[in-house]
Chains A and B, each alone.
Chain A
């Protein structure tokens, strides 16, 4: 098994771990509105290491899961996650973020943008949009970025970007 294949398997394992955490640990945590979004962490970490098209496809899949499991407007989550995944991959190619803090910041910004798109696409009331975007989204972005930092530090070798020569 080639080293490249091993790293991809490891990456998939981490993604699966985050998926399990999303559906098994997150419901047991505190207020759901500010607890970390493990699926978004998986999406952003994957997007920053994938091509924009694949990242958009991953975002679409994650968004579809979100739309299926949350009683929001169907399609809003898919649209938001597709855009976030695509932009995450595109932004990764613009800002070369080998620094884990920048990676975590990407996750936080991605979550806030995702919330913005979902709220607008769902046709939410302006006052609620303001409250969500100024209170709950930043708080959730902080917790999500914090956990992303933990993941990045724990699996540092796995997530290090290697430039091909």
Chain B
């Protein structure tokens, strides 16, 4: 508290006021260099603590600003990094598609899958290529992993494809070992919400082991031969005495496909070499071993025949037939490699 008596107006106040006023005017009208010199001196001596305090405050403020900036940059980087895995996956998928396109011995058109935010999206796919690009109805649609579906309708710039998940989809198929033919259709009993396929019409006597790759057979004129359709993962049901129905894990997922190839013409071509897979390579390896074995048995038969002939000549007896020289069994050659499959009357694509 300050008493009002302290504020009495005296001569001392006037002197102080005039002194301060005079000093101020002197500073104001003195040369700037002198003013700067006085200011510098004061800054470095009496006012140094205040300048230091203000410097710390400014640093604090700029640190906050810098921290906010760094935080923003970090957030932006984290946001961008979220898309990195999907970009990598898309890149890898495009590379696979490129590799597939190099291996294909038929014409094709690349297309993007324009997914729609609807439940039934994976049943029919809207593709970004149309009649202008040479796409026609019943053109097969494939992904690097295998069969996706078939073109259902075509407009100038786009096409609608029916994927294997569509209830009306059918494709004639056979196992990679070539011992069983049948028709692949979508399953009504998808597990865990995932789509599944059924390999129907397989003769009861032809058991198909789990893990066997099933390929399109090329019969029916819609799908070319050798496109992977799925892998056998179990038996769905058995019609006692004449048929088994197998469950297949689809080779390609239309729901996640972002880019596909639409095959043009040449549907009679064998595309087996364009889709190498573990099962397929295994089949090729087994087929090679089979060929070696057959060759060995043939050589053995020839040797036996020659020995028999030598014996017969030496005995001067009539020539006896070489019963050991049996021809190779039919139906063991891989259809991919040109072997003729031993199978019952094959079913045909019913998608058309």
Contacts and interface: CB of A to CB of B under 8 A. Distances in A.
A7 interface: yes
Interface stretch (B5-13, B186-194, B244-252, B297-305): B5-13
A130 interface: no
A-side interface mostly? helix
21 contacts: A23-B57, A27-B61, A49-B7, A50-B2, A51-B6, A52-B7, A53-B10, A60-B23, A64-B42, A68-B38, A68-B43, A74-B27, A74-B30, A75-B30, A78-B20, A78-B27, A79-B25, A79-B28, A93-B9, A159-B1, A163-B3
Contacts of B30: 74-75
A78 B3 contact: no
Given A26-B57, A54-B13, A69-B50, 9 more contacts: A4-B3, A50-B2, A51-B8, A68-B43, A78-B28, A79-B25, A90-B9, A160-B1, A164-B5
Interface of B: 1-10, 12-17, 20-21, 23-30, 32, 35-36, 38-39, 42-43, 47, 50-51, 53-54, 56-58, 60-61, 64
State the 7 A-B residue pairs at the shortest beta-carbon distance, nearest first. A74-B35, A75-B27, A53-B13, A75-B28, A53-B16, A49-B2, A79-B24
B15 A60 contact: no
B42 A50 contact: no
Given A74-B27, A75-B27, A24 B57 contact: yes
A112 B21 CA distance: 19
B57 A27 contact: yes
Nearest to B7: A51
A161 B53 contact: no
A121 interface: yes
B6 A50 contact: yes
Nearest to A27: B57
Nearest to B41: A68
Contacts of A27: 54, 57-58, 61
Nearest to B28: A75
A65 interface: yes
Most buried by B among A11, A26, A79: A79
A41 B215 CA distance: 89
Nearest to A63: B24
A69 B4 CA distance: 34
Contacts of A86: 17, 20
Given A51-B9, A53-B12, A64-B42, A82 B27 contact: no
Contacts of B53: 20, 23-24
Contacts of B64: 28
